[in-house]
Copies of this chain bind each other. A is one copy, B any other.
Amino acid sequence: MSQANLMTGDPYDAIARLGTAPLWRYYGNLFAAEPKSRAVPYRWSYAALRPYLLHFADVLSLEEAERRVLMLVNPGLTEPPATTTNLYAGIQVILPGETAQAHRHTAGAFRFIIEGNGAYTTVNGERVHMRPGDLLLTPGWHWHDHAHEGDGPMLWLDGLDYPLVNALEVGFFELYSERTQKADVPDDISSRQFIHGRLTPAWDPKPSANSPIGNYPWEETSRAFDAIADDASGSDADGVVLEYTNPWTGGPVMPTIGCRIARLRPGFRGVSRRQTPSTIYHVVRGEGVTIVDGQRLEWGEKDVFAVPGWAAYEHRNASLSDDAILFSYSDTPAVTALGLYREEYVR
């Protein structure tokens, strides 16, 4: 059949029927000069949200209570809901006596504890207790459930990478055979074995890209800041910023999510910088403002705020007498592993 014969219809119709599109007529921008995230800079007010969290703790049905989480939805990323391009943040509240159905998922997760005492998460058979300021890990495909045996409500920040996992279309989910895992090792054993002195148990080593530490307790984090005191130079953009590390590798706690804690000294005013990964901050203590692509995010204690990828950010501690402490997490490990990390100072 000759080429001429094939061309009797509209060739553009023909190639469309053959599953193709002409690049020369595509007006979308597949190659932008630089990234422009759909996510926007945003701050969530803990003071404003807390009463509602407690309200819903009162009124939700038993079934709903298990998902009693306010998703911190970036206005630019509403469906599916996400907080930055690859990451999710939510605030969860549970009440004494409540438990959650054990399950696991491909998405990596952590909890940073905001308020309350007496609850624990069971991760792969280890009960890990939660206190304010603690960072608890539930890496991908680790079984987890929780229970609250204390008094009063317990609130925490949930962080996950499900937006990334779902964008990659690689996510699995499974319910545990029973509602609750049995503890099969001593409570909090991973933290107790791994947290002190850069000492690592040398029997039965099981190195993994996921940290084996169930809890990076605030008590230790606090000790770190006390020890460093004012003797460290720190980062000109991020202050005295410490990375939570995986003891087996010295690297981030999970292959997709890195967690950090930073102290901005009284009066700290960071330089402006941007980087390809996005970051979600939680204010552990203090108040200040972060200027993100020219937009002022004023933050106070326990607020959460989002800095999209490649948005310039500049932190300022509003107090001349008190520290600000910022917990943060980002998709830096994922972006770096793919050779896609880039950063620059913004004059």
Residue numbers of A with Cβ under 8 A of B are 3, 6-7, 11, 14-15, 18-24, 26, 28, 30-39, 42, 44-45, 48-49, 51-52, 54-56, 60, 64-75, 79-81, 85-86, 90-91, 105-107, 140, 162, 164-174, 186, 189, 191-204, 207, 209-211, 213, 216-217, 220-221, 223-224, 227-229, 231-236, 238, 240-251, 254-256, 260-261, 276, 278, 308-310, 331, 334-335, 337-340, 342
Cβ-closest chain B residue relative to A1 = B51
User: Within 8 Å CB of A217, what residues of B?
Assistant: 197
Taking a contact as CB atoms under 8 Å apart, the answer to whether B197 and A224 are in contact is yes
Cβ-closest chain B residue relative to A258 = B202
Q: Assess A204 versus B233: contact at CB under 8 Å? Given A19-B75, A68-B24.
A: yes
Q: How far is the CA of A209 from the CA of B66 in the complex (A)?
A: 44
User: Within 8 Å CB of A34, what residues of B?
Assistant: 171-173
Task: State the main secondary structure of chain A at its contact with B.
Answer: loop
Taking a contact as CB atoms under 8 Å apart, the answer to whether A247 and B249 are in contact is no
A–B Cβ pairs within 8 angstroms, 5 of them: A3-B51, A30-B81, A35-B170, A203-B234, A203-B236
Taking a contact as CB atoms under 8 Å apart, the answer to whether B26 and A56 are in contact is no
Q: How far is the CA of A211 from the CA of B199 in the complex (A)?
A: 13
User: Within 8 Å CB of A51, what residues of B?
Assistant: 3, 6-7
Selected from B20, B211, B234, the residue in CB contact (under 8 A) with A49 is B20
